[in-house]
Amino acid sequence: MNFQSMHWPRKHLKSESTMKVKYDKDMDVLYISFNENKIKESDEGKPGIVLDYDKQGIIVGIEILDASKKMKYPTKIEYEMA
């Protein structure tokens, strides 16, 4: 996959946002946010996977419902840079 083609126009981001990962154990929801933009639209592309978009169509975050049923350890994170 060519990662250069995956970049979106940075001018649409509110700030130099840091990606954040949050797991709510009570709700069993894992949320990955990519920026601080306001969510305008959400789309459940696959059952239990919700993609959030801003008004420009840029992805804001991914919500995984029933996360513990989709992954063994929803609180374990491994980060890798290439």
Domain interval for residue 42: 21-68
Question: Has residue 63 been placed in a domain?
Answer: yes
The answer to whether the CB of 30 falls within 8 A of the CB of 21 is yes
- Residue 73, domain member (yes or no): no
Q: Is residue 35 situated within a structural domain?
A: yes
In a domain, 34, yes or no: yes
Q: Is the pTM of this model over 0.85?
A: no
Confidence of residue 14 (pLDDT cuts 50, 70, 90): low
Domain count, the chain: 1
Q: Encode pLDDT of 38-48 as tens digits.
A: 999 999 989 99
Computed from CA positions of residues 45, 51, 57, 58, in that sequence, does the dihedral angle turn out positive or negative? negative
